[in-house]
Structure 1
């Protein structure tokens, strides 16, 4: 076994680990900060933290007793101002890798603990014992939790009660995926990789759970079992009932910040394209002032958007279209007569779509992204096509993690 060594942390890496350059190799040491003196045990390319000998002035006390066990958080040990700067540096580094050295990155919009309304947890039975929580860091083991300081109070109140029911529905072989979403009308619960709950005694048990926990909606393996109330989220002047288990912005404050950035940049545009529109995070808000062409590849998301728009208050027209924008992007010729364009793709970005936008004459473009690397690639395409980056704003939707959202504003 390798003996512990004393090192000084040289810098922070992109995933939040401290990096030490030792004997010609890089060692990645979780839960350390730049400049700290630490005792570590080398293990391959990683260093197991044994003790902080000289803490950084940037160090903070963790807000959760499971920090360094639960893999949900990586950066609770960093003070907010320094943490915001680190998140901003992730965006700066990604842009620099594509040649954007002079682009000014706005200060990170930080969220607060207790605001996470959506969470995806894992449940598994081990010898009749339920493990329910998040995976441990770099492990398939599950950190059993009853409370997470990042979640909204309504979800935390539900966790221990939900744990009483879950063993009834789990199989012995699979981990179950448990997606919780707090909405205006109650919690939307979606279970995946569980028993078939659509009939017989298992269905009755599921209904009993939904009643006992006062769930708004319960789904299992992609099928809605019971909707006691439509789960509703406010998006501008409309209320959306998102598809069961579908992507929703995890933190309402972060969604509001991104939406306001988009609205401010779109300004008085009369005709707007919203690509990868989902259930209408931006489209429904922009429709208060503009005609919107909203495109999305998922039927269920578009149905949710259409219903919200029809029952919204004083909204202008939204033309909705199902289209796989990776295989069939909107062409530059189709973008004529539009004043602004918003695109919010998955983590893979939107290379083919960006190439078409770069050929267009749309005056204002908003790129929203959860991946600085693919965002930088897509911005490079747009800038090479004649656009100019006006601003880039990081939004810390996933608190204490290496993930960061961005809103980039470009003009031609």
Structure 2
């Protein structure tokens, strides 16, 4: 049943929506802030904002015309300083939920690492009559918002939007969408297309010609590199790395630098380090300047990229022993961590959002003196840290890093030591 109501917003929920506490339970209202009185159209536990009756001092004007429709941003109406404070509070709450309340004084202020903007974006494109729509999906919807600008992306990607539409049209299926993953690099954009359409050789030729005319460095389709005019290399602490097409990299350069700086300081003078869930070497390549590194990752393409980067920077790096291994199913055991080269002096792990529960259990049984945990999910990080603390580790620092401007997401680096 739908009904209009006036509500007082008391908090921001973890997804960035305002929450009003009512006699029949909490009601979530997008685009509202704590301390505001709002008129809404309510349907059960959710409501649509109709009017802000009394605004929070933290409310600001959104910077994008697509805000409120596009599902990419949820907090453009909130002052940046307030966002950073709220994101720290989310980390505090996640730790408290796992019984780590005493850690709160160790959680530092959130680092603003938005920098120039996100250098990587994943767009969707579809056909609407004679038009091609390209952008991001609406909140909780399959409808696509046709994006003409985006304040969270680096300008190099925004400038490519018209070209991306043209290229998407060439591989558009009769039904469904094309996915376009774009990475801005110093040598040009790395564009990876994914489509279910059958692309004829003539269409592929036209696709390559248009991409090259637009200055795209590398073009891939469904994982196959069609053309590489220039290697799309990004800097990993002074070592050039060419990531696999469409691969994960840290969202912003500033975010990567902030995370890497804390990882390096957390590891300290350790001479033997394991980098688990290492990807293409974000941390391993930096760590190997001063330590021998055991780099473990489940994706073969990521390890191949790391291998090429290792060869490029061979004169500046110590040994990196790369190993393909599914750490979810087959984590490094406590015996392996303690026996490898007389034992690891530090372990770094940076898993996907699901966390590293199995690996944390093995670390908790090990004698590794220092652990540095990196995560994009405070909830699973708190779970893994609880395991380590119960195994005898002590948390010495926690750094939230915000490279996802206007979103509820947050990166966190925690440093732990034995005893």
TM-score range, shorter chain: over 0.9
Structure 2 runs not aligned, ≥5 long: none
Report the Cα distance in structure 2 between the residues aligned to 1:331 and 1:168, rounded to whole angstroms: 49
Match of 1:40 in 2: 40
Match of 1:122 in 2: 124
Match of 2:55 in 1: 55
Q: Secondary structure at the match of 1:389?
A: strand
Q: In the TM superposition, what whole-angstrom CA distance separates every residue of 1:256-309 from its partner, at most 9, and x where no partner exists?
A: 100000011111111100000000000000111111010001111001001101
Match of 2:204 in 1: 203
Match of 1:152 in 2: 154
Match of 1:390 in 2: 396
Q: In the TM superposition, what whole-angstrom CA distance separates every residue of 1:48-95 from its partner, at most 9, and x where no partner exists?
A: 000101100111111111111111000111111111111011111111
Superposed counterparts of 1:60-99, under 5 Å: 60-99=60-99
By how many angstroms is 1:113 displaced?
A: 6.4
Matching of residue 169 in structure 1 with residue 175 in structure 2: no
Matching of residue 345 in structure 1 with residue 351 in structure 2: yes
Match of residue 328, structure 1, among 319, 327, 330:
330
TM-score, scaled to structure 2: 0.96
Report the Cα distance in structure 1 between the residues aligned to 2:95 and 2:33, rounded to whole angstroms: 23
Match of 1:405 in 2: 411
TM-score, scaled to structure 1: 0.97
Q: Secondary structure at the match of 1:10?
A: strand
By how many angstroms is 1:112 displaced?
A: 3.1
Report the Cα distance in structure 2 between the residues aligned to 1:355 and 1:112, rounded to whole angstroms: 33
Q: Secondary structure at the match of 2:286?
A: helix
Q: Structure 1 stretch 306-315 or stretch 383-392: which is displaced more?
A: 306-315
By how many angstroms is 1:194 displaced?
A: 4.4
Structure 1 runs not aligned, ≥5 long: none
Matched-pair contact (CA < 8 Å) for 1:187–1:217:
yes
Report the Cα distance in structure 1 between the residues aligned to 2:166 and 2:327, rounded to whole angstroms: 43
Superposed counterparts of 1:225-244, under 5 Å: 225-244=226-245
Matched-pair contact (CA < 8 Å) for 2:167–2:211:
no
By how many angstroms is 1:195 displaced?
A: 2.6
Q: Structure 1 stretch 326-335 or stretch 1-10: which is displaced more?
A: 1-10
Match of 1:220 in 2: 221
Match of 1:374 in 2: 380
Report the Cα distance in structure 2 between the residues aligned to 1:355 and 1:102, rounded to whole angstroms: 22
Q: In the TM superposition, what whole-angstrom CA distance separates every residue of 1:349-374 from its partner, at most 9, and x where no partner exists?
A: 11111000011111110000011111
Q: CA RMSD, aligned part only?
A: 1.2
Matched-pair contact (CA < 8 Å) for 1:240–1:308:
yes
Report the Cα distance in structure 1 between the residues aligned to 2:3 and 2:361, rounded to whole angstroms: 53
Match of 1:101 in 2: 101
Report the Cα distance in structure 2 between the residues aligned to 1:161 and 1:176, rounded to whole angstroms: 14
Report the Cα distance in structure 2 between the residues aligned to 1:236 and 1:401, rounded to whole angstroms: 27
Q: In the TM superposition, what whole-angstrom CA distance separates every residue of 1:142-183 from its partner, at most 9, and x where no partner exists?
A: 111121111111111111222233212101211111100001
